[in-house]
Chains A and B, each alone.
Chain A
Amino acid sequence: KQEVTQIPAALSVPEGENLVLNCSFTDSAIYNLQWFRQDPGKGLTSLLLIQSSQREQTSGRLNASLDKSSGRSTLYIAASQPGDSATYLCAVSGNFNKFYFGSGTKLNVKP
């Protein structure tokens, strides 16, 4: 069974720092990997989607990489801002419409 792990569970950084969030998965037979953002008490908002054939995706200050063979993905956030404070989740998709989620990394960016 696919297992997704996110490290660290929580992270606190001063504003302006560049940071990296990690996601690992046990079964490399995935179709794609998604990074989500969740604000307290809200639903999940998709940030980036990387297809299994791709190595990375970029959106603004966010860059996500995927190394399928080693079962790893990273989300790089450049020049962090207090508005980036949220929980970040990664999810991998398996056969057809099965999605497996990590427990998330709770990020706090201090002004």
Chain B
Amino acid sequence: ETGVTQTPRHLVMGMTNKKSLKCEQHLGHNAMYWYKQSAKKPLELMFVYNFKEQTENNSVPSRFSPECPNSSHLFLHLHTLQPEDSALYLCASSQVGTVTLPGNTIYFGEGSWLTVV
């Protein structure tokens, strides 16, 4: 079992559909992230959750709605997406650092390939 599991691995949806991406981490971490990776572009941070609270929204359009019910699960709800939203969506987790114990490794899931038609 991998540390960070994402489902579904592939998703095709129409512009009027509503779907969700799911992420689960089995590492006991308390921070979770959504990243977007488009072709030939660097990783774009979308959202950060620390201890289930959203601490960062990187100017993401409201058609993307994150949800973090607990420290192990993270969802990305999708509605009325555009074709340019087609990308690989990566979930990650890490342990929130402190002054004496800085944050360390970030672990990624395999990603969810999203195609908007």
Contacts and interface: CB of A to CB of B under 8 A. Distances in A.
A41 B113 contact: yes
A24 to B, nearest CB: 14
B14 interface: no
B59 interface: no
Give chain A's interface secondary structure class. Answer: strand
Interface in B62-117: 88, 90, 92, 94-98, 102-111, 113
B43 interface: yes
Interface stretch (A58-66, A68-76, A78-86, A90-98): A90-98
Given A41-B113, A102-B42, A96 B107 contact: no
Nearest to A106: B40
A97 B96 contact: yes
Given A93-B103, A96-B97, A97-B103, A43 B48 contact: no
